[in-house]
Amino acid sequence: MFAKGMSSMQLSRSARWSITRAASAKEPQTEVAEEEDLWQYAERDQWYAARFAADDQPDWVAGSFLRYKQLTPTIREVVVGVEISRERIPLRNAYKHVGQRACVRINSGTEQEVPVSSPPFPQSLLREVLLTVRGDLYAEETKTARELTSVTAELSLFVSSEEYPDIYKLSAEDTLEIGPFKGSGLDLRGSLLGIFQHPTVVIFAQGSGIATAKALLLASSDVCGLNLRMRTGEKRLYYRARTQAALTYAEEYEAWEEATGVKVVTATRDSFADMFDDDDTLEYEPASTAAILLTGGDEESEEDLLELCKEAEINCIVRQSVEGALTEYLAKGKGA
């Protein structure tokens, strides 16, 4: 309290300091009130929710035509360049499993699902990007904003002139877009991955199934490959086509066998049962043998192969028509 009639000019220095201190003491209270108001901000919890890398990136990205290889008079393997950086491609959209199909748009046309003949990309191509995504730093490096890293790789598409005419005729003048890969691929998880449990593997392929077979043979172990070279039993790829001219990749069979130990057996007239029965060099124990059926969507051929496996007492069977379980990706943080 101050004396009645005392002017502000007459206040002592200590009194003026007390008033100033009291005024400043009110400021933190205002800040606290404002901070409390922030908690009422709509969806504020999402500020702290964990998110996957590249979650905010577009689903469709530009690709580039590189070259093509004529496999038969009506079938080409079209090789395109695609973005695979984990900073730019969300994991849910990436090519992760053998048997997935590529989504392609040519010249802003309709979306097409195309068989892929190259394996999923090995993790070695993404090492630097994955370190960046984790936020790891090198010695003496400071954490500063930087541009997203781009990593491109080659993707091989197995296309026929009848089913995919625009992709079959793709050239550098065309615009190419690659979208999220479809499906969950072959169901290779489980006992089949046990190289000692199933040392013998027989693969049956026809039609576009040979593209999946090639991807499977070339897949590395870090992308759910079968480690075929390490399996001590017999390994066969029985490949059937309508005519000799329709057989694809003939010049690569020797390299496949050298790399994986898988011997390729081809036929144009025989059934899969005939090919299997006539193979006198195959020695197998049913309990330790796995069969992979890649019929390119031919349901009748798949049923025949299931009957063949039943007669051969082979119980570990992977079918192209039965895909693996879909991966469930986290959308939001706790409480979503």
Can you give the chain as a three-state secondary structure string?
CCCCCCCHHHCCHHHHHHHHHHHHHHHHHHHHHHHHHHCCCCCHHHHHCCCCCCCCCCCCEEEEEEEEEEEECCEEEEEEEEECCCCCCCHHHCCCCCCCEEEEEECCCCCEEEEECCCCCCHHHHHHHHHHHHCCCCCCCCCCCCCCCCCEEEEEEEEECCCCHHHHCCCCCCCEEECCCECCCECCCCHHHCCCCCCEEEEEEECCHHHHHHHHHHCCHHHCCCCHHHCCCCEEEEEECCCHHHCCCHHHHHHHHHHHCCEEEEECCCCHHHHHHHCCCCCCCHHHEEEEEECCCCHHHHHHHHHHHHHCCCCEEEECCCECCCCCCCCCCCCC
Question: What pLDDT score was predicted for residue 9?
Answer: 43
Report the alpha-carbon distance of residue 198 to residue 195 in Å, rounded.
Answer: 5
Looking at the predicted structure, is the pLDDT value of residue 325 above 60?
yes
Residue 10 has what pLDDT?
A: 44
Residue 321 confidence (pLDDT) above 80: yes
Q: Hey, what CATH topology would domain 61-129+149-182 get?
A: Elongation Factor Tu (Ef-tu); domain 3 (2.40.30)
110-149: pLDDT as tens digits:
999 999 999 999 988 988 888 787 776 777 777 677 788 8
More confident residue, 271 or 29: 271
CATH 2.40.30 region(s) of the chain? 61-129+149-182
Question: What pLDDT shows up at residue 34?
Answer: 56
pLDDT > 90: what percent of the chain?
68
Q: Is the pTM of this model over 0.85?
A: no
Name which CATH class applies to 191-319. Answer: alpha beta
Looking at every residue in the chain, the average pLDDT score rounds to 86
Average pLDDT over every residue of 137-164: 87
- pLDDT tens digits for 78-116? 999 999 999 999 999 999 999 999 999 999 999 999 999
Give pLDDT tens digits for 257-304: 999 999 999 999 999 999 999 999 999 999 999 999 999 999 999 999
Q: What is the pLDDT of residue 333?
A: 42
Q: What is the pLDDT of residues 214-255, one digit of tens each?
A: 999 999 988 888 999 999 999 999 999 999 999 999 999 999
Q: Which pLDDT score is estimated for 133? A: 79
Residues of the chain within CATH 3.40.50.80 domain(s) are 191-319
The answer, yes or no, to whether residue 40 has pLDDT greater than 50, is: yes
Mean pLDDT of 20-32: 50
Average the pLDDT over 295-320 and give the result. Answer: 97
Angular region, 256: left φ>0, alpha ψ -120 to 50, beta rest: alpha
pLDDT given for residue 16 in this prediction: 46
